[in-house]
Amino acid sequence: MKLVTHNMLTSKCLKGVNTGYPLKLVVKEIRVQSSDFNKEFISKMIPRLDWAVFVVAAKQIGHAGNLPDQLLPDYENNEELLKDVHHALFEVDIYEGELICPETNRKFQISEGIPNMLVKENEL
């Protein structure tokens, strides 16, 4: 599971949970695989992110590079920054670990890189 996915997932469908976001991360194994860097694509992705959630998660997994806590204007022209975003967002795979609901502490397993977000009927 890459951080781009972590940036979207919630546990909101659980009964009694208000936002369920961001999910806490427990990392047991990380795999890094490089992929093609595409400047325009990354620039386009940035405004779709919850930036603060992204940076906190990137720092936690130790792949934040020089990502600033607050997004600077003119980021489209900052190639260094765009490369750091590309790396943290798309190249680092949380291969084994857990996602934890911030409100109920319900755990969701990540195994072989796939988060299991299924919940039982009585949890809905």
Partner 1 sequence: MACMKLKKLEQILQEVDSFDTPKIKLEQYMTPPNIAACILFAIQSSFDDIDNKIIADLGCGSGILSIGSILLGAAFCSGFDIDHDALNICLKNLKQFQLSSYDLIQCDISYLSDTFYKRYDTVIMNPPFGTNKKGIDIEFLKVAINMSKHSVYSLHKTNTREYISSKARSWRIKNEVIAELRFDLPHTYKFHTKKSVDIAVDLHRFSQL
Compare residues 32 and 68 and give the one whose CB is closer to partner 1.
32
H or E segment to which residue 39 belongs = helix 39-45
Q: State which residue, 28 or 39, has the beta carbon closest to partner 1.
A: 39
* Residue 121: strand pairing partners: none
d(CA 25, CA 102): 10
Taking CB under 8 A as the criterion, the residue among 15, 18, 74, 112 binding partner 1 is 112
Per CB under 8 A, which of residues 11..70 are in contact with partner 1?
A: 12-13, 20-21, 33, 35-36, 38, 40-41, 45, 48
Listed in sequence order, the residues at least 6 apart from 24 whose beta carbon sits closer than 8 Å to its beta carbon are 99, 100, 101, 102
Regarding 114 and contact with partner 1 (CB under 8 A), the answer is yes
Residue 99 C-beta: closest distance to partner 1, Å: 11
Establish if 113 lies at the interface with partner 1 (CB under 8 A).
yes
Which residues touch 7 (CB under 8 Å, ≥6 apart)? 22, 49, 50, 53, 54, 57, 89
The footprint of partner 1 (CB under 8 A) covers: 1-2, 4-5, 8-10, 12-13, 20-21, 33, 35-36, 38, 40-41, 45, 48, 90, 93, 112-119, 124
